[in-house]
Structure 1
Amino acid sequence: MKLCRIMLVAAVLFFLSSSISVAGDFDWMHDFNIQAQADPSGFKARLATRFQIGSAQIDAIIGNVSNPVDAYMVMRLGEMSNHQPEYVMKKYKAGKKKGWGALAKSLGIKPGSPEFHALKRGEDLYGCGGGKYSGEKGRGNGRGKSKNKG
């Protein structure tokens, strides 16, 4: 009986810790939504500037997603995968319950890529110069495969 309790507690802790780590992947999204909902017109203007698209296209995307951050993600994943936002929107609607990693993978973006990890951390929210991620390569002394190749 004591062994069953220990196993049950261990299982609960395992599932709680895994759900916390999954939620932490895109923890910036909540704040992003709050800011976008506080200033909808400013949010639309920032998206138009960031992705260089017109307000009609932005309105169409925002009108077809659950949250403002979903509109940003649709446009950003389209940019990362070189697909039009309309194509990404179709993929989003078909598999939105699978998560952003699955959507990225279906668009040809590797979920383990540095760009996708930067996106998960909320870097580059407003362009390469506007976020924390600048796209520069590291200058460490690691043992990467491309060392000494120019």
Structure 2
Amino acid sequence: MKIFKMLFFAAITILTIAPASSARDFSWARDFNLQAQADPSGIRARLATRFNIGHLQVRTVLSNVENPADAYMVLRLGEMSGRPTDYIVERYRSGKKKGWGSLAKSLGIKPGSQEFHALKRGHDLSHISGAAHNTGNYVEVSYNNEEDGGKGKKKGKSKKNGK
């Protein structure tokens, strides 16, 4: 009976320490979420700029995860693994209780690798400014030049070809 108690307490200790150390590995996520809460449009713009995606895709990822740090991780893991974002979101949903390290490993990012350590160190958005993108989600481009009736300036047309 004494051995059973010792094994039981050892198991409880291991089960409580392991998640705490895993959470500590990605402790930057808490600060990231606080920044996102303070400036949601700025974080969306920085994610769009960093991952070279549209604001609509950023909003889609954000709406499919629990918090902005998770959105960053989904986008980053997609980039690192070469997998599409929707695939990463599905893997996130099915295995989020296992943690980011487990998800990264399942995507071929080896623990101890430079990529894995980069994930644990934190996000790489600090050098990207989102201020220029805060004015809206879309840029309207007009191709119709009203001064010439919308016909363009006829550049590139050769007189030799009779056009």
Equivalents in 1 of 2:103, 2:13: separation in Å? 28
> Where does residue 51 of structure 2 map in the other structure?
51
Higher relative contact order (Cα pairs below 8 Å, separated by 6+ residues): 2
Q: Does 1:121 align with 2:116?
A: no
> Where does residue 88 of structure 2 map in the other structure?
88
Equivalents in 1 of 2:64, 2:119: separation in Å? 22
User: After alignment, is 90-99 or 74-83 more displaced?
Assistant: 90-99
Equivalents in 2 of 1:28, 1:38: separation in Å? 16
Q: Does 1:39 align with 2:39?
A: yes
User: Structure 2 vs 1, CA of residues 88 and 19 (structure 1 numbering), >3 Å: closer, same or farther?
Assistant: closer
**CA displacement at 1:112 relative to structure 2:** 2.1
Equivalents in 1 of 2:58, 2:93: separation in Å? 17
**Deviation per CA, 1:54-88, whole angstroms, max 9, x where unpaired?**
01111111001111111000000000101111111
User: Structure 2 vs 1, CA of residues 14 and 62 (structure 1 numbering), >3 Å: closer, same or farther?
Assistant: closer
Aligned-residue CA RMSD (Å): 2.6
1:37 partner amino acid: Q
Larger Rg: 2
**CA displacement at 1:95 relative to structure 2:** 1.1
**Unaligned residue ranges in structure 1 (runs of 5+):** 132-150
**Unaligned residue ranges in structure 2 (runs of 5+):** 129-163
**CA displacement at 1:21 relative to structure 2:** 2.1
Task: Count residues with an aligned counterpart.
Answer: 126
Q: TM-score, normalised by structure 2?
A: 0.66
Q: TM-score, normalised by structure 1?
A: 0.72
